[in-house]
């Protein structure tokens, strides 16, 4: 089982950032209560409130997916139609209380919209300087200790959102008999979005892909390290 993945190169040219076209990200936490549309917002800017770090868009997507997608085979593996993804983003930008159900779109459009949200943040949930030592360490017990230390260094909003996503993916994996998406398959689909690595060439991509996938699987296998 494979997920579509293109190597991400760190470039900033015109409307391109990290090798992907800038998309509209939405925040309900800005001063006037209206929704900000930008291509490079941080989680701190997008937090729902000072006590709730989960962005409204993320929560809305996850709640829909857990209601409608748990019985969908290949959840997160099958990409959504891009025009449908854009429609979701546009509708949310206009009205944060919009209903995903009213749009009558397939779950794949919502899963792709959710991944796009994280792909277009100004910084990945887990930055390169933090995960690099984990790639170099191959001993499982030592890596787990290092990972716990790395997670403690994350900003509060990053850690809260990462924990929310991990718990969501674990919930998806509980229905593997229907979705065919266990921790390993979900890690394959999500690691490029969560860590957003910078590959200089295909050789470095080949060398780093497996360790980064394993890193995300360790998170899914050991959710208590986020506590």
In eight-state DSSP terms, residue 109 is H
Using CA atoms of 115, 121, 124, 128 in order, give the dihedral in degrees to the nearest 10: 130
Please report which residue ranges of 16-106 form alpha helices under DSSP H. Answer: 43-46, 56-68, 82-94, 100-103
Q: Is residue 115 part of a domain?
A: yes
Most distant CA pair in the chain, distance? 50
pLDDT in tens, 174-215: 999 999 999 999 999 999 999 887 666 667 666 678 888 988
- Residue 138's domain comprises 41-226
Q: Is residue 28 part of a domain?
A: no
Q: Is residue 121 part of a domain?
A: yes
Of 154, 105, 104, 125, the C-alpha closest to 58 is: 125
Q: Is residue 21 part of a domain?
A: no
Please report which confidence band the pLDDT of residue 1 belongs to, taking 50, 70 and 90 as the band edges.
low
**1-5, 66-70, 165-169, 218-222 — which is least confidently predicted?**
1-5
Q: Is residue 32 part of a domain?
A: no
Q: Is residue 69 part of a domain?
A: yes
Q: Supply the pLDDT for residue 2.
A: 57
pLDDT in tens, 5-28: 443 333 322 333 233 333 344 443
Q: Is the dihedral of CA 52, 54, 55, 57 positive or negative?
A: negative
The count of domains in the chain is 1
Please report which confidence band the pLDDT of residue 144 belongs to, taking 50, 70 and 90 as the band edges.
confident
Q: Is residue 9 part of a domain?
A: no
Take residue 201 and report the two structure tokens written for it.
Answer: 């060439």
**What percent of the chain has a predicted confidence (pLDDT) above 70?**
78
Q: Is residue 18 part of a domain?
A: no
CATH label of the domain that carries residue 118: 1.10.555.10
């Amino acid at each position: 089982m494979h997920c579509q993945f293109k190597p991400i190169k760190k470039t900033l040219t015109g409307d391109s950032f990290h090798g992907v076209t800038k998309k509209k990200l939405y925040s309900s936490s800005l001063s006037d209560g209206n929704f900000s549309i930008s291509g490079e917002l941080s989680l701190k800017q997008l937090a729902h409130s000072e006590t709730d770090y989960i962005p409204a868009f993320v929560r809305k997507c996850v709640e829909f997916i857990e209601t409608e997608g748990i019985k969908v085979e290949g959840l997160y593996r099958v990409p959504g139609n891009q025009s449908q993804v854009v429609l979701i983003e546009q509708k949310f930008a206009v009205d944060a209380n919009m209903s995903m159900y009213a749009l009558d779109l397939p779950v794949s459009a919502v899963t792709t919209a959710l991944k796009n949200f994280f792909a277009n943040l100004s910084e990945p949930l887990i930055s390169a300087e933090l995960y690099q030592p984990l790639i170099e360490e191959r001993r499982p017990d030592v890596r787990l200790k290092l990972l716990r230390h790395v997670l403690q260094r994350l900003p509060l909003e990053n850690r809260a959102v990462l924990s929310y996503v991990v718990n969501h993916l674990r919930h998806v994996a509980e229905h593997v008999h229907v979705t065919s998406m266990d921790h390993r398959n979900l890690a394959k689909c999500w690691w490029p979005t969560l860590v957003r690595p910078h590959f200089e060439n295909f050789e470095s991509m080949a060398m780093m892909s497996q360790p980064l996938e394993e890193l995300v699987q360790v998170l899914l296998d050991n959710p208590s390290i986020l506590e």
